[in-house]
């Protein structure tokens, strides 16, 4: 499985640092940070990520849609983790070998422009009163599911 993360406008350095830690734990090669996402070197990214920002490669692109198009040209399928009318539960989706997972801003989620560039959308069902989970928790849940799903191992 060749998995990329794109963090679109993930403003909180705690979430970004956690994303680096998750990326390292999952064996990802790179994270793409976009928009107003916090970026290294930031002391909270380094602290929360336990220095994984020095191990996992990262790049910055202003618009997430541009990063999606660049990866699409390299054969990646893109998927936003966002509540939309077309989104399917993350555990029912089929995951190709070359896959890009996009998460959005802590309050506003993934933008319409970025959603329009994505090939698919998934969501995590919520069973309590909250409408969603924290960005980095959601990223970890779905990334590990993708890595261990039968469709991704084909």
Q: What is the per-residue pLDDT across 15-50, written as a single tens digit (0 to 9) for each?
A: 999 999 999 999 998 999 999 999 999 999 999 999
Q: What is the pLDDT of residue 154?
A: 53
Say whether 143 sits in a helix, a strand or coil. helix
Nearest to 11 by CA among 135, 138, 147: 135
Nearest to 104 by CA among 44, 15, 17: 15
pLDDT tens for 81-118 read 999 999 999 999 999 999 999 999 999 999 999 999 99
Whether 151 shows a pLDDT value over 70: the answer reads: no
Whether 131 shows a pLDDT value over 90: the answer reads: no
pTM above 0.85, yes or no: yes
Task: For each of the domains in the chain, give its residue range(s) and CATH number, in order of start.
Answer: 2-153 (3.40.1280.10)
Q: What is the pLDDT of residue 17?
A: 98
Say whether 7 sits in a helix, a strand or coil. strand
| First CA to last CA distance, the chain | 9
pLDDT tens for 43-81 read 999 999 999 999 999 999 999 999 999 999 999 999 999
């Amino acid at each position: 499985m060749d998995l990329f993360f794109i963090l679109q406008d993930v403003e909180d350095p705690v979430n970004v640092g956690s994303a680096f830690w998750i990326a390292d734990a999952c064996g990802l090669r790179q994270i793409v940070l976009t928009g107003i996402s916090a970026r290294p070197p930031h002391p909270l990214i380094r602290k929360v990520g336990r220095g994984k920002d020095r191990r996992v490669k990262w790049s910055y692109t202003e618009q997430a849609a541009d990063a999606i198009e660049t990866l699409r040209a390299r054969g990646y399928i893109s998927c936003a983790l966002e509540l939309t009318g077309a989104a399917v539960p993350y555990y029912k989706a089929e995951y190709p070998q070359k896959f890009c997972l996009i998460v959005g801003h802590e309050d506003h989620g993934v933008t319409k422009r970025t959603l329009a560039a994505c090939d698919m959308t998934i969501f995590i069902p919520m069973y309590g009163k909250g409408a969603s989970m924290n960005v980095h928790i959601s990223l970890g849940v779905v990334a590990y599911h993708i890595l261990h799903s039968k469709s991704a191992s084909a």
